[in-house]
Amino acid sequence: MGSIKCIGILTSGGDAPGMNAAVRAVTRAAIYNGLEVKAIYRGYKGLITDEIETFHTQNVSNIIQQGGTILKTARCKEFMTPEGRQLAYETLQKHGIEALVCIGGDGTLTGARIFASEFNFPIVGIPGTIDNDLFGTDNTIGYDTALNTIMEAVDKIRDTATSHERLFFIEVMGRDAGFLALNGAIATGCEAAIIPEIATENDQLGELIKNGFRKSKNSSIVLVAESPLTGGAMALAERVKNEYPQYDVRVTILGHIQRGGSPSAIDRILASRMGAASIDALLEGQRNVMIGIQNDELVYVPFSKAIKNDKPINRELLNTLRILSI
């Protein structure tokens, strides 16, 4: 493994603030260690369509503060087929790329794991997803920025909510994980968070109504994770209209605003540390691992663990939210 001379870097799946900071860190750490860097555009799709460019230090100047990803990203159905992955491998061979750094979420790492096992190819993953749902790392790149975006949006909605006696459902991202909804609710003083992790345990909406969500308050805001398990904000609002017609309900879906924006200091630092660590990992002979952070220490997490294990929410946070919403 010490003989690696050229690495490839790509971003895949949903974009997340801080991906550019990670691209910058990987590129410069590789060059610092005498490696050649090949940037692959549009994720795994770029491996199949041969969209590859040699990167130098100046290619990543002034990008640390930019949201999105300068490498672009795309979903790629072809990469899900053996034939597509064979084409991708041939492209890597053609450009002399001997190892890959892949930045993305669960789908990105799943693709990396399959490809690495089929072709015995060294790959290191960097967790970039606003959902914060990858096992083995306390935080993923983009999560802190998205949480701050949610906080700013809910604060604004609170201003209008206090002018009306209404129940507001605000839908946030998190198809399979309630980290954004739960922590966003605590950060903004919401009455509740409806999240997929406990959707099958109890009727979260019924419990909220039964406990008298409004009490002495002149507004109530509930954050809802977009998951099919929660039904989403629109379905919950419809249910309230049918079952509790005395309440005046409004819905706001924050949508893709949560993905954009300049990354926070926390995300820039996390991305920089993880990007540099990915090159260290490859030079140490690591393969099929994701860079994670646990208790502020960088760790290597096998793809199999990062992908297969569900990341648990902190149940104490649910209790904290319940106590503080009285």
Provide, rounded to the nearest whole percent, the portion of the chain with pLDDT above 90.
75
Q: What is the CA radius of gyration of the chain?
A: 22
Classify domain 145-259 at the CATH topology level.
Answer: Rossmann fold (3.40.50)
Residue-wise pLDDT for 17-68, tens only, equals 999 999 999 999 999 999 999 999 999 999 999 999 999 999 999 999 999 9
pLDDT higher at 87 or 239: 87
**Helix, coil or strand: residue 195:** coil
pLDDT higher at 135 or 207: 135
Provide the pLDDT for residue 202: 65
Domain boundaries, the chain: 6-141+263-308, 145-259
Instruction: Give the span between the Cα atoms of 266 and 290, in whole angstroms.
Output: 19
Provide the pLDDT for residue 214: 52
Instruction: Give the span between the Cα atoms of 325 and 249, in whole angstroms.
Output: 19
Instruction: Give the span between the Cα atoms of 194 and 197, in whole angstroms.
Output: 9
CATH classification code of 6-141+263-308: 3.40.50.450
The closest alpha carbon to 129, from 111, 143, 118, belongs to 143
Instruction: Give the span between the Cα atoms of 109 and 8, in whole angstroms.
Output: 15
Asked about 131 being catalytic, the answer comes back as yes
Q: Indicate the pLDDT class of residue 247, thresholds 50, 70 and 90.
A: confident
The closest alpha carbon to 139, from 20, 297, 11, belongs to 297
* pLDDT (average), residues 233-254: 88
Provide the pLDDT for residue 75: 86
Q: Indicate the pLDDT class of residue 267, thresholds 50, 70 and 90.
A: very high
- Do 232 and 203 contact (CB within 8 A), yes or no? no
Provide the pLDDT for residue 65: 98
Residue-wise pLDDT for 78-126, tens only, equals 999 999 999 999 999 999 999 999 999 999 999 999 999 999 999 999 9
- Write down the H helix ranges in the chain: 19-32, 43-49, 82-94, 106-119, 143-161, 179-188, 204-210, 232-243, 265-283, 303-308, 315-324
Check for a shared fold between 6-141+263-308 and 145-259: yes
* pLDDT (average), residues 292-316: 93
| Whether residue 200 has pLDDT greater than 70 | no
Provide the pLDDT for residue 175: 86
Provide the pLDDT for residue 1: 46
Catalytic entry in 131, 133, 144, 267:
131
Instruction: Give the span between the Cα atoms of 297 and 22, in whole angstroms.
Output: 17
Taking all residues of the chain, what is their mean pLDDT, rounded to a whole number?
Answer: 92
pLDDT higher at 246 or 299: 299
